[in-house]
Amino acid sequence: MAIPLSNFLRSLFLVMGCLMVGTLVYTIYVDGFPFRRDLLTPWMIATVVDFYINVIAVAAWISYKESNFITATIWILLLICFGSITTCVYIFIQFLKLSPEESLQDPVYHVLLRHESKYVIRISVGVEQKMKQSAVMSARIAFGALGFLMLGTLIYTLLTDGSPFHKELLTPWMVATLIDFYINVVALSVWVSYKETSWISGFLWILLLICFGR
C-alpha cells in the first residue's frame, strides 16, 4: 500500500528537523559555539548570505500563511535564529493541522494556503486586486535584488578567495551550515516540484537550486 503524500512529507520534515538538531548539538560539542572571528572565512560568509536568502524566501511564505502578525513575527524570529530546524517544525505542524480530507486530496496545496483570520476586514474587489498586484511586484523586485546580491557575493568570493572546493574549508561549522542550507533547499524543492507541471522543468529548477542556491 502506497504511503500518503502528507504522511511522507510529515515524516521527511520530522527526520530532517531531528537531523539538524543532532548536527547542531554535535557541532557545538566538537567545535564550540559559532560566535568566533576565525570562522568568518570568505566562503563561510558567502554560504551564510546564501542561507539567509533562503530564509527570506521561507519567511515570506510564513508571513503570507499566518494571518496573525504576532504569530508570524515569532515564527520568523525563530527561523532567523534556528534556521532549518524552525522550517521543519513549522511545516511538520502545518501537515498535522490538515483534516483527513485535505491530507488525501491535495496536502501541499492546503499547507501552502493562507490561514484566514476570524477578523477579516472587508475591502472591495478592486482594492484587493491592486494590493495583490502590488505585493507580487514588490516580491519580484525584492527577490530579483537578492538574486543579484548573491551573484555578486559569489563572483567576489571566487575572485578574492578562489575555488570553494578545498578540504580546509570544510570546518565543522561550515558542514553544519551546509546541512542547514540544504534542508531549506529541500523545503523549497517540494514547492518547486508541486508548482511545476512538467517533471523535466521541475527537475532542472531543483538541480539549479542544489548547485547555485537562491
Residue 73 phi, psi dihedral angles, 5° rounding: -65, -45
pLDDT at position 206, please? 93
pLDDT at position 214, please? 62
pLDDT at position 123, please? 56
pLDDT at position 165, please? 85
Q: How buried is 78 (Cβ within 10 angstroms: 0-12 exposed, 13-18 middle, 19+ buried)?
A: middle
48: enclosing H helix or E strand: helix 42-65
Dist CA 48 CA 73 (whole Å): 21
| pLDDT one-digit tens code per residue, 98-156 | 998 998 889 999 999 887 665 555 555 566 677 778 888 988 999 999 999 999 999 99
pLDDT at position 116, please? 67
Q: How many domains does the chain have?
A: 1
What residues contact residue 173 under an 8 Å CB cut-off, 6+ apart? 27, 31, 34, 39, 44
Type of residue at 63 = S
pLDDT at position 134, please? 84
Q: How many degrees, rounded to 5, is the angle at CA 140 between CA 136 and CA 144?
A: 170
The distance in angstroms from the start CA to the end CA of the chain is 37
Q: How buried is 42 (Cβ within 10 angstroms: 0-12 exposed, 13-18 middle, 19+ buried)?
A: middle
pLDDT at position 201, please? 92
Give Cα 18 to chain centroid, integer Å: 16
Q: Which domain holds residue 97?
A: 5-116+125-212
Residues of the chain with confidence (pLDDT) below 50: 1
Residue by residue, what is the 3-state secondary structure of 137-183? Answer: HHHHHHHHHHHHHHHHHHHHHHHHHCCCCCHHHCCHHHHHHHHHHHH
What residues contact residue 44 under an 8 Å CB cut-off, 6+ apart? 169, 171, 173, 174, 177
Q: 175: how many CB neighbours lie within 10 A of its CB?
A: 15
What residues contact residue 82 under an 8 Å CB cut-off, 6+ apart? none
What pTM was estimated for this model as a whole?
A: 0.88
Type of residue at 87 = T
Type of residue at 26 = Y
